[in-house]
């Protein structure tokens, strides 16, 4: 069942990444449902069958990065939460082939990697679990704020 960007943009991004990897691993499943077929077609059109992310995921991530930039300027508590995460995110970024990725993308990479480790029944350290909790809280706050902004935009256009 397709996740909705309007319900939870962070879950939507993680779901898209998961479906991309699923279709790469099991291309024969592309016809199992209409939604998998459509995602598979998009992946082929966008040339990301070997790697990368759908434009849908990239656009949603860009929206959250824009919101992140706005909140960094406006909310001291949000800024403090990012600053507390920064050392862990910088370590993660340094271990990737894209050390200049945004902090928000690094949060998603972290959560996705942990999800993959858990699917493999591998343990994570207490330190990693702590970083996961803080990254999750940050993305939950971003998603909630994103939805509030979207709802306010809809209400203001209806008035």
C-alpha to C-alpha distance for 19 and 9, rounded to whole angstroms: 15
Q: What is the pLDDT of residues 17-62, one digit of tens each?
A: 999 999 999 999 999 999 999 999 999 999 999 999 999 999 999 9
Contact status, residue 139 vs residue 10, Cβ threshold 8 Å: yes
- Helix axis angle for 9-25 and 55-74, nearest 10°, is 150
Q: What is the pTM of this model?
A: 0.91
Is residue 39 within 8 A of residue 6, CB to CB? The reply is no
Q: Phi then psi for 59, rounded to 5 degrees?
A: -65, -45
> pLDDT tens for residues 86-111?
999 999 999 999 999 999 999 999 99
Reading the block at residue 46, the tokens are 């966008």
Whole-angstrom distance, CA of residue 149 vs CA of residue 110: 26
């Amino acid at each position: 069942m397709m996740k909705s960007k309007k319900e939870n943009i962070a879950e939507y991004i993680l779901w898209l990444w998961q479906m991309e990897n699923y279709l790469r691993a099991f291309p024969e499943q592309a016809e199992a449902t209409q939604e998998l077929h459509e995602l598979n077609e998009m992946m082929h059109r966008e040339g990301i069958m070997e790697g990368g992310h759908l434009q849908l995921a990239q656009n949603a991530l860009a929206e959250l990065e824009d919101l992140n930039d706005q909140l960094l300027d406006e909310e001291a508590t949000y800024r403090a939460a990012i600053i507390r995460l920064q050392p862990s995110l910088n370590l993660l970024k340094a271990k990737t082939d894209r050390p200049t990725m945004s902090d928000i993308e690094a949060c998603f990479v972290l959560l996705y990697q942990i999800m993959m480790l858990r699917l493999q029944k591998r343990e994570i350290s207490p330190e990693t679990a702590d970083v996961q909790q803080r990254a999750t809280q940050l993305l939950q706050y971003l998603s909630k704020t994103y939805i509030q902004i979207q709802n306010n935009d809809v209400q203001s256009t209806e008035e």
